[in-house]
Chains A and B, each alone.
Chain A
Amino acid sequence: MDILNALVAFLNFIVVPGLAYGSQLALGALGITLIFSVLRFSNFAHGDTMAFGTAFVILFTWWFQSMGITAGPLPTALLALPLGILVTIAMVLATDRVVYRFYRKQRAKPIIVVIVSTGVMFVMNGLVRLIIGTSEQNFTDGARMMLNPQDFKAWTGLAEPLAIKTTAAISVVAAVICCALLFWFLQRTRTGKSMRAYSDNEDLALLSGINPERVVMITWIIAGALACIAGTLYGLDKSYRGIVYFSLLMPMFAAAVVGGLGSPVGAVVGSFIVAFSELIVTNAWRKIFSYLVPPEWLGDGLYQALSTDYKVAVSFTILIMVLLFRPQGIFGGK
């Protein structure tokens, strides 16, 4: 029995990565849920919007690095992030103007707009491939570890190390700041209130003089900014490949549906549910168990419920469970 080491291993393999991954998912899922509540369709292009924004952040990062500008212990990408966000916002606003606005004016069925969004997904994916290619790009710099595993071991004298990557810490901090700003904006400001009114009841909102185009524009700006931040954090934490963002769609949709499509709080909670479920199911528990019970009890299994290749199956199962038992999600979306 060595509860302390087991706890540290649990923190190291589940809690820290789960918080980081959950934060990244949350920023993406928030965008999906906002677009759903205001524009009323599931945006399949969201994953590739994240990839698009991140590609520009990487380009700006390289430009800064070539000029010798760095952010010290923090990744240079944080300095490049505002520029990347601007490009992403410009892109989503242009897409809205050229593509989505037409269907909004026509009051097309949501499913038509979903199909259109897959078209946008292709265009964005194609652009990402043209701009930065399909190979892996590493753009992380600055201090790699916020909490060095050796330091931790020397400091506590435990056998089990605890490592906190700088990028993981930044992800959590960024998610907290973004959520706080977003919820403040939605609850307190006039524009935020008009957005919620529009999403609750479109006709009533129009009657009370809310300008729908302005609400839509602000939604795109927020969703684009969040997508760029989420994509960059994910790219910093793992490594960047333009084509992996498509596979983030499934966990993000699952997160948004679990929380209730259209509910921002739900999207955040759902993201952490999805992230922790993925880690709990695909983690090899042998190490943690070995501190809790005598090792000879364990045999030679890994105590891993599913191999990490089946991550997608976890978010899918969560999605199916919600659709079966509570289609409106935890926080009752639309």
Chain B
Amino acid sequence: MAQYRNLFLFAGVALLFILTGALQSWNLSLNILNLALLSCIMAIGVNIQWGYAGLFSTGIVGSVALGGLAVVLVSAKPVPEGWAAGGPQIVEALLFAAIAIAFSTWLYRRLKPGTNRALALALYLVVAFFIYRLILDPGVIAVEANNPAQAGNIGGLGLNSLFAWPVGALMAAAAAWVIGKIALGLREDYLAIATLGIAEIVVTVLRNEDWLARGVKNLIDLPRPWPVPYEVDLQVNPAFLEPVASMGADPVTASTIFVKLLYAAMFGLILILLVWGCERALNSPWGRTVRAIRDNEISAAAMGKDVKFRHLQIFIIGSAVVGLAGAMLTSMEGQLTPPSYLPLRFTFLIWVMVIVGGSGNNWGAILGGLLIGWLYLAVEFLGPHVMEILTAGLPAGDLKDHLQDTAAHMRLLTLGVVLLLVMRFAPRGLIPEK
């Protein structure tokens, strides 16, 4: 019986999606499925960090946003005028900043410790910062002055957004390297606090730096990844229309469903590859080392394992997987909307998925991703119904209106209560680690 338990769980989740499709619409069901698959990939990334190594990061949303930014940089329409106006200058400024920071670490190692070193370095960094601003600002102003209503940014490379996926992973990995270098090896709470900050900064940059990705003006019309076609092209393509007509389906609905199925297949394929890779890694000497470190850091260190290095490695790999999913998300949505990067949606929801599914178990993370992903999005159409049924007995009035309005906020409360209940009564999750 026990070996069928997991199968039943997955079948139950599949039933949820099928019911949504049959009772609401297949478009909605597939939409939720695609977002849930992306959440599964993010959950795999978080599971690598938490489940394998016990690292608690509160900055998942930062990795997701960096992945989104990668799509903009790689595949947004080029803006030659904007780039010519100040692009190279901005790049120079960023290069200068990188060199200045590298030089400061070199100085720090070379100079003798003491108050003088601290003062000299502080002075050096302040001066370097103002030089950086002096190079950066004119470039930024020039770029943002170029056609602000439609562009005002440096533009992207205009490549297919499939190329952006690995770039997103790399960008998230680079950010994770910096944070991990600083915050790992100290008390474990410090990683949680530091990642909270870096994520907030990444999202603030996306919101405010118009030259980069147009900030809150949103960057739309990002191209789709290969090989996903546009619905309008499908609707005039005889190779698509003929089989659809022979099945007797409506070509408009069929085209939207076809596109979503294609996305689902791509995401599913990547998810399967990731899980296969993770399972292989977990059952290798590397996986045993990592679990040994998680279960008892001191004895692992005594065995000669480099705990800090392994933690850094895992933190980077996990963040890269999340960045990959972030890039996939933005390329599917075809637009970058910085205000949508909420810690609730992309940090804590993913956490709940991993913990409910079963931390340390990849299949658990996937189950959690699908189940919680469905719940989170289904609340949007179920919530008002449920509230209507619950408040049916009340007379019309302020109280009833207030209660029905609050349905939207119930998500947060429910998420918190679910997290607390699972942590307390089923800390190993639905599919526990073997």
Residues of A within 8 A of B (CB): 41-42, 44, 99, 102, 110-112, 114-116, 118-127, 129-130, 134, 246-247, 249-250, 253-254, 257, 261, 305, 307, 309-310, 312-313, 315-316, 319-320, 323-324, 327, 334
Contacts and interface: CB of A to CB of B under 8 A. Distances in A.
Interface of B: 54, 56, 58, 129-130, 133, 182-183, 186-190, 192-194, 196-198, 200-201, 204, 207-208, 343-344, 348, 351, 355, 406, 409-417, 419-420, 423-424, 427
The 7 closest A-B pairs by CB, nearest first: A122-B416, A126-B413, A316-B197, A119-B419, A123-B416, A126-B412, A129-B409
Contacts of B196: 249-250, 253
Nearest to B359: A115
A307 B188 CA distance: 31
Contacts of A118: 58, 348, 351, 419
A123 B56 contact: no
25 contacts: A42-B193, A110-B187, A111-B192, A112-B423, A114-B56, A115-B419, A116-B419, A118-B419, A122-B344, A122-B416, A123-B417, A125-B412, A126-B410, A126-B416, A129-B412, A250-B200, A253-B193, A261-B187, A310-B201, A310-B204, A315-B197, A316-B197, A316-B200, A319-B193, A334-B187
Contacts of A99: 420, 424
Contacts of A121: 416
Given A42-B192, A310-B204, A111 B420 contact: no
A315 B54 CA distance: 26
Contacts of B54: 111
A102 B54 CA distance: 21
Contact of A319 (B197, B344, B417, B419): B197
Nearest to A116: B423
Contacts of A126: 409-416
Nearest to B134: A301
Contacts of B424: 99, 102
Contact of A120 (B56, B133, B343, B420): B420
Interface SS, B side = helix
A148 to B, nearest CB: 34
Given A114-B56, A310-B204, A324-B182, A42 B189 contact: yes
A41 B189 contact: yes
Given A115-B355, A115-B423, A122 B201 contact: no
A130 B193 contact: no
B192 A114 contact: yes
Given A114-B189, A126-B412, A312 B56 contact: no
Contacts, number: 125
Contacts of A312: 197, 200-201, 204
B186 A130 contact: no
Contacts of B419: 115-116, 118-119, 122
B190 A323 contact: yes
Contacts of A250: 193, 196-197, 200
A305 B56 contact: no
Contacts of A114: 56, 188-189, 192
Nearest to B421: A119
Contact of B208 (A119, A253, A309, A319): A309
A112 to B, nearest CB: 7
Nearest to A324: B182
Contacts of B182: 320, 323-324
A119 B406 contact: no
Nearest to A42: B189
A119 B200 contact: no
B198 A316 contact: yes
B200 A127 contact: no
A110 B186 CA distance: 13
Interface centre among A110, A123, A315 (most CB of B within 10 A): A123
Contacts of B193: 42, 250, 253, 257, 319
B432 to A, nearest CB: 16
A307 B201 CA distance: 13
A62 to B, nearest CB: 15
A266 B373 CA distance: 42
B34 to A, nearest CB: 25
A307 B133 CA distance: 12
Contacts of B415: 122, 126
A302 B208 CA distance: 18
A129 B204 CA distance: 24
A111 B412 CA distance: 22
A277 B192 CA distance: 23
B401 to A, nearest CB: 12
Contacts of A134: 409
B351 A111 contact: no
A130 B197 contact: no
B293 to A, nearest CB: 14
Contacts of A122: 344, 348, 412-413, 415-416, 419
A320 B194 contact: yes
Contact of B194 (A112, A115, A129, A323): A323
A119 B423 contact: yes
A52 to B, nearest CB: 13
A190 B80 CA distance: 72
Contacts of A307: 208
Contacts of A261: 187, 189
B58 A44 contact: yes
Contacts of B186: 323, 327
Nearest to B178: A320
B419 to A, nearest CB: 4
A261 B189 CA distance: 11
Contacts of A253: 193, 196
B325 to A, nearest CB: 21
Nearest to A41: B189
Contacts of B197: 250, 254, 312, 315-316, 319
A10 B413 CA distance: 44
Contacts of A111: 54, 56, 188-189, 192
Contacts of B416: 119-126
A266 to B, nearest CB: 15
A121 B129 CA distance: 37
A253 B427 CA distance: 27
A114 B130 CA distance: 38
Contacts of A305: 129-130, 133
Nearest to B203: A312
A106 B3 CA distance: 31
A257 B190 contact: yes
A320 B196 CA distance: 12
B406 A129 contact: yes
A127 B423 contact: no
Nearest to B415: A122
Contact of A323 (B183, B201, B410): B183
